[in-house]
């Protein structure tokens, strides 16, 4: 899974640099702007750095063509579920759920919030990789509305609850059958993201993705006595 990293400038209003507590949920959002783009979302979040447009940001955006943008490191807090009031579910996460959640913005076709197949498929894969990374369950994938109670976000899931159930079923299916990746060239496998080299994954070799951390794909491969794990750049996987 390839991630386009476009990090926001550190600032009080969209990238405060606050470290996240242990992750408890992955929160889905819509852009509330049909045909929005990853660059457009970046520009909107970045425009807040001087305090003129309030607080707001998210960790990821999945475009209509399936490209995935990342705006914050995964260990930093985003302002994506801030509210004066929270649902009982939101408060079960934290008194301030921004501090323990990852936010995914999803592009959409229209004001109903309907997504392209590419947005849906890549959002499923991203959510699946994140719950693997943090040891969560599919039921820990939630919505902005479920956390705050007063926003119809994502609108498609708000108006079509069965579609959220389908999304979660697709994540389960992805985790069972769809998270196989293929090396598009010889690629170094590292112990940690950007860390020491441990082995080479050869071109054409298949492996299983079991997580994602700041653009580095966590993979599982056969070891000498048990399965081993390492990180590779998403630029070299298909």
Task: Decide: helix, strand or coil at residue 43.
Answer: helix
Query: Contact, 141 vs 101, CB < 8 A?
Result: no
Percent of the chain with pLDDT over 70: 97
As a whole number of angstroms, the distance between CA 60 and CA 50 comes to 21
Give per-residue pLDDT as tens, 210-222: 888 988 989 887 6
Tokens of 12: 């009080």
pTM: 0.89
Distance between CA atoms of residues 33 and 111, nearest Å = 7
Has residue 224 got a pLDDT over 60?
A: no
Domains observed in the chain = 4-178 (3.40.80.10), 180-236 (2.30.30.40)
CB atoms within 10 A of CB 188: 15
**Model confidence over 156-182: pLDDT tens digits?**
999 999 999 999 999 999 988 767 888
């Amino acid at each position: 899974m390839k991630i386009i990293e476009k990090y926001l400038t550190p600032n009080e209003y969209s990238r405060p640099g606050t470290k996240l507590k242990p992750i408890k949920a992955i929160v889905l959002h819509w852009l509330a702007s049909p045909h929005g783009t990853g660059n457009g979302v970046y520009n909107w979040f970045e425009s807040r750095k001087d305090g003129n447009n309030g607080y707001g940001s998210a960790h990821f955006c999945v475009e209509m063509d399936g490209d995935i943008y990342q705006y914050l490191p995964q260990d930093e807090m985003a302002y994506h579920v801030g509210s004066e009031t929270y649902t009982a579910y939101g408060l079960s996460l934290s008194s301030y759920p921004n501090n323990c959640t990852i936010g995914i913005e999803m592009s959409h076709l229209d004001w109903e919030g309907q997504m392209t197949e590419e947005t849906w498929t890549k959002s499923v894969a991203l959510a699946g990789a994140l719950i693997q990374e943090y040891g969560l369950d599919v039921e820990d994938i939630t919505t902005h509305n479920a956390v705050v109670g007063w926003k119809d976000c994502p609108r498609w899931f708000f108006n079509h609850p069965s579609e959220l159930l389908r999304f979660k079923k697709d994540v389960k299916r992805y985790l069972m059958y769809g998270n196989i990746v293929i090396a598009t060239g010889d690629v170094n496998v590292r112990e940690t993201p950007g860390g020491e080299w441990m082995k080479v994954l050869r071109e054409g070799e298949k492996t299983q993705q079991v997580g994602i951390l700041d653009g580095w794909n966590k993979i599982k491969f056969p070891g000498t006595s048990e399965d081993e794990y390492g990180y590779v750049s998403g630029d070299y996987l298909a």
